[in-house]
Every structure is written in C-alpha cells, then in structure tokens.
Amino acid sequence: MSQDQREFPPVPSGQTSRRRFLQVVAATSGPALSLSQLGIADSTSRRILAIAGTYSSPQGPEGSPGRGQGIYVFEMDPASGALSQREIIPNDSNPSWLALHPAGTHLYSANEITNYGEANSGSVSAYAVDRANGRLTLLNTVSSEGAGPAHLSVHPSGKYVLVANYAGGTVAVLPIRVSGELLPASDVVHHQGMVGPRHAQSAPPGSFAISGHDKPHAHMVQADPAGRFVLASDLGLDKIMIYKFDLERGKLTPNDPAFVPFPPGDGPRHFVFHPNGRWFYSLQEEGSTLVAFDYDAGRGSLKEKQSLSSLPRGFAGTNFTSEIMISADGKFLYAANRLHDSIAWFSIGAQGTLTFAGEEWTRGDYPRSFNIDPKGNFLYCCNQRADAITTFRVNRQTGALMFAGLYTPVGTPASIVFLT
C-alpha cells in the first residue's frame, strides 16, 4: 500500500449530513398545499447542491447519441424543489454515473466509453469539490480496467473507488490518494461463467426485454455498510457476486458462498441495503422483479425471502427496470420502470418484506435513475430519452409521490447526487 493511502484521514461519523453548503439568502414561497398537509418535514433553513451526470458522447446509450454536455451542477431550493443551474463541467466521455466521497470533498464519475487509452476500456475521473462555492475541479482520470463502466461507488473507508464495467465484464478497485486523485487499480476481477438465456424466466407476458445475456456484464458494485464485503451484480450471469475485501491491500477474493443466483435471464441490475444493514433488495432489469433477502453481515451471505414484480398487476409487454432506493427512514422502497415509465413504491414490513403501495408516471421517457434529496422531501427522476429531470414531492407518511410541476432541462440525464 502507498504512503498516500495509509495517511488518508478518517471520515468523521455523520460529517456529510452535518456539513451544510449554502445558507438560504432569501425567503421562498411555499406550495399551494402546506408541507405538513403533504406529510413533508418543513425544513427550509439551507440550500443543497444537486450534481447530474449525463451521456455526452456521439456514442451514447443503446446506440443513440448523447445530448448532455458533461456534469451539471444545480442549486436546489429546499422549499419548492426547484433546481437552478450553476455551471456545467465539460466532459464528452459519458460521465453517466457519479459518486461522492463520504467526506463530501471529492466527486468521482464513471465515464461510460470503450476507447480510453490504448486498451478497450472506459475511465474514471476524480474532481475536487470546493465547498465554498460548489465548483468542481478535475484532478485526474484513470482507466476503469474494462469497457463501458456503468456504475461506481466509494468504499465506506473513503480509501477506494469500486467500479463495475458493464461491457468489459470486470470489477476494479481504484485506490484514492490523500489529494483525492485516483491511483491505478489495485485489483481487477474478470467475471466468468455461463450466461443466462435471452428471455427472462420471470418477465411479464409478451415481454421482449432482451439486453445483455451474451456475456458477463458487471452492472453495479458496492461494499456492505461495514466495508468487509463487496457485492457486484452481473446481469449476463444472473448472479450477484460476493467478495471479501482486504482493506489494506485493496484486494477482492471470492466469498463462501461466492455468489447468489437469480432465475435464468432475469438480469440483476441494481441493489440496495436497508438502513438497518440486515435486509437487502435486488432489482432485475429483464425480469422486472424485486427480490428481498436477509443479509448476514458476519458471513457476507444472502438468503432470499421474497420475490415480486416491479410492475402493476396485469401488466403485459416489455419493460426494463433501472434504479432502486430506500427512504432514509427505512419505511419505503422505490423502483423505476423504463418503457412503463413509472416509479413504484413499496412499504417495507417488520420483517423486511415488501408490499406494493403505488406508482407514479415519471413525466418523461425512459427513467435511467432517480434520487431523493437529503431531507427526504423530493425525488428527482432522470428521464434519459426526454432530456429532462422531473421533480416529485415525497409524502413521508405514505411514501406516495406527487409531481411538483417542475422540469429541469438536461440532455440525456443519467444520474443525480446531492451535496449538503
């Protein structure tokens, strides 16, 4: 391990949630209905930054050109949910997925390309965040060690970026220097195995949701809350791989068990841990299913306990799921459906099982991902093909979404994160 890594300062507990970026400089008018009537906490004492990643290359997603200009920085009004654009950081390499360092001092982008350097690879860029004014400064860019990186996350220790290369079928570990810059990969794992069938076993009737069952496709990678294990979904193999993580060396080794399987062709895409650390949920892209697990943090193992559709009863035809998220209070789970163009929400029971509670039209085409602001009052949906981010109020008591009437123009938006 380098000296830079050994000296990386620890991340104080709760630091990200306590630091605040900007103070409200003027009173803002409220909505027609009061926040309390909508079940929303009335906290308007500060502003928040929203940072959106886009597809920005002529070779964008699914063969269509990207229309974004790079990374967009917005200021969020916590009373109305409105986003005001502050600046654009040019990046023509599809910075489609973003992740903030736990300290809020640095931002990392997965650049979803296949032509970085001499190898058939994508790249990852590191940016310094100036918390005084919200400016982003590019520090460096390194190989993602695989083509088409679709997801990245920062290890809870703050010492590594984990990146999943969809087209390359690899997962890489990138050490972080004290300065926030990235070092070359300390480990690269190549997923191998028999790919699943083209048609998902659990797909709705009449579905032609066929995407990635031609080879391994690492779609997401993230450590568990304790940072002891790293999980990576592979859509092509219909598995979530589970690795032990060596914090000192930045190395991944297969766990025992080394993976959890899914029904053939269902294609696990994204997953999320419940705030209690004991429950785990996976969203399948081609099967349009949600699977709930119990998570054993000591062994790094998953035990399935429920599977259900992300779509309303009676749906037929083609749908691709995209994003999954749990409210900060742990009461509700949200899942996005592309082509159906909806976000469904589910109540989470005492044992971690899900019950369908409602759905809302995204007011746009092909919701690539979404996120909830740090206060839990607004949900922002990145409508990839509609070139807009739409804003919804969140009812904290029922989990319901209500369109706030706000469209923010962004070319082929792909992801959004928040800095407080």
Report d(CA 241, CA 220) in Å as an integer. 10
**pTM of the predicted model over 0.85:** yes
Q: How many CB atoms lie within 10 A of CB 283?
A: 28
Tokens 């099967």 label which residue?
287
Contact 420, 46 (CB under 8 A): yes
Letter for the amino acid at 252? L
Q: Is 3 helix (H, G, I), strand (E, B) or coil?
A: helix
Q: And the tokens for 395?
A: 């009812």
The 3-state secondary structure of 335-367 reads: EEEECCCEEEEEEECCCCCEEEEEEEECCCCCE
Per-residue pLDDT of the chain (420 residues; tens, 9 = 90+): 444 443 344 443 333 333 333 333 333 334 444 444 444 444 445 569 999 999 999 988 877 899 999 999 999 999 999 999 999 999 999 999 999 999 999 999 999 999 998 779 999 999 999 977 789 999 999 999 999 999 999 999 999 999 999 999 999 999 999 999 999 999 999 999 999 999 999 999 999 998 789 999 999 999 999 999 999 999 999 999 999 999 999 999 999 999 999 999 999 999 999 999 999 999 999 999 999 999 999 999 999 999 999 999 999 999 999 999 999 999 999 999 999 999 999 999 999 999 999 999 999 999 999 999 999 999 999 999 999 999 999 999 999 999 999 999 999 999 999 998
Beta strands in 55-197 (DSSP E): 70-76, 83-90, 95-100, 106-111, 123-129, 136-143, 149-154, 160-165, 170-175, 187-190
The CATH H-level (homologous superfamily) assignment of domain 3-419 is YVTN repeat-like/Quinoprotein amine dehydrogenase (2.130.10.10)
What is the residue extent of each domain of the chain? Answer: 3-419
Contact 131, 180 (CB under 8 A): no
Contact 108, 115 (CB under 8 A): no
* Cβ burial, residue 82 (10 Å; 0-12/13-18/19+): middle
